[in-house]
Amino acid sequence: MTHPLTLRRLCFTTLVSSLLLCGVSAQAKEWKSITIATEGSYEPWNLTLPGGKLGGFEPELMADLCQRMAIQCKLVVQNWDGMIAGLNAGKYDVIMDAIVITPERKKVINFTVPYASTPATFITMKGSLLPADSKIIKLTDDEKTVEPAIAPLKAALKGKTIGIASGTVYTPFIDKYFKEVADVREYTSSADAILDLQAGRIDAVFDDVTFAQSMLARPDNRNLSFSGPQLGGPIWGEGEAMGVRMADNDLKARLDQAIKAALADGTVKKLSEKWFKTDVTP
């Protein structure tokens, strides 16, 4: 999932100075059970099924990892805005919500090895901007290479309004490269941005391709489509991973081992193809 300063981004910077004061004890634990927080509304990564049970790529992957680690797992729902703060406050032990590893986030939490890596794209009303392009343009965070690659997108979006979920890894990218040509509107969730796109209040939404595919598969969203190429590569960081507290290196090590095993035996690829219809293994 990708990310003006928002509450979410403020957490990344302000928590650095407070971790020594409010961090959770670094004592080693046996880890017979863990609590994992997820959003429960960022499908197909995670979603809330009828009856309240959590489903999707990440809950199913987490169930497999917990079995490998012989640990009892409990999934809880947490709004994205407070997820990192809640982790460091000890409300749960792991956060798993299509969280991209970035240098800024690594200042306040630790990450497991990545279990996915995905590109992003614009979503618009069919025929309103650029035609869909399945090509993936791989970008680094170098303006000299980014600007020429996105020039057609900037031209198409000039004077338009772009919706973006606040605090994602995509938010600063949109602010940096598109705010000079378009109005940028931030939303609490990606789903809210899609609703405003459907209502005609904005012209485009920028988000993860897997989330976009899930939205476009819904019958009431058949008038939406991808617009332009997919943007991927190192610009989005190292990939999606689970977040743990800085002190919990023992838990990180166990999760790393389980993730590597699930990647090696094809479990992650199998779940990826089930939920995303494509292989997102890093």
Domain of 48, CATH number, reads: 3.40.190.10
Domain limits for position 63: 33-118+238-276
Q: Which residue has the tokens 């970035």?
A: 102
The predicted pLDDT at position 14 comes to 43
In a domain, 281, yes or no: no
Instruction: Judge if 109 and 156 occupy the same domain.
Output: no
Q: What is the pLDDT of residue 28?
A: 56
Assess whether 187 and 114 both reside in one domain: no
In-domain check, residue 27: no
Contacts of 274 (CB under 8 A, 6+ apart): 57, 60
pLDDT of residue 11: 43
1 is a domain residue? no
SS3 assignment, position 36:
strand
Per-position pLDDT tens, the chain of length 282: 544 333 443 444 444 444 444 444 444 578 999 999 999 998 889 999 999 999 999 999 999 999 999 999 999 999 888 999 999 999 999 999 999 898 889 999 999 999 998 889 999 999 888 888 878 898 988 899 999 999 999 999 999 999 999 988 899 999 999 999 999 999 998 989 999 999 999 999 999 888 888 889 899 898 999 999 999 888 988 899 999 999 999 999 999 999 999 999 999 999 999 998 878 888
Residues 206 and 143 in one domain: yes
pLDDT at 100: 87
Residues 131 and 264 in one domain: no
Q: What is the pLDDT of residue 7?
A: 40
Question: In terms of domains, do 87 and 222 share one?
Answer: no
Pair 96, 193 in one domain: no
Q: Residue 125: in which H helix or E strand, if any? A: strand 120-125
User: Do 124 and 96 reside in the same domain of the chain?
Assistant: no
Other beta carbons within 10 angstroms of residue 228's beta carbon come to 21
| Half-sphere exposure (Cβ direction) of 221: Cα atoms closer than 13 Å | 19
Q: Does 201 lie in the same domain as 113?
A: no
The two tokens of residue 204 are 């485009």
Q: Are both 221 and 249 inside the same structural domain?
A: no
pLDDT one-digit tens code per residue, 173-216: 999 999 999 999 999 989 899 999 999 999 999 998 888 888 89
The Cβ of residue 59 has, within 10 Å, a number of other Cβ atoms equal to: 22
pLDDT score recorded for residue 168: 86
Query: Tell me, what's the pLDDT at 17?
Result: 42
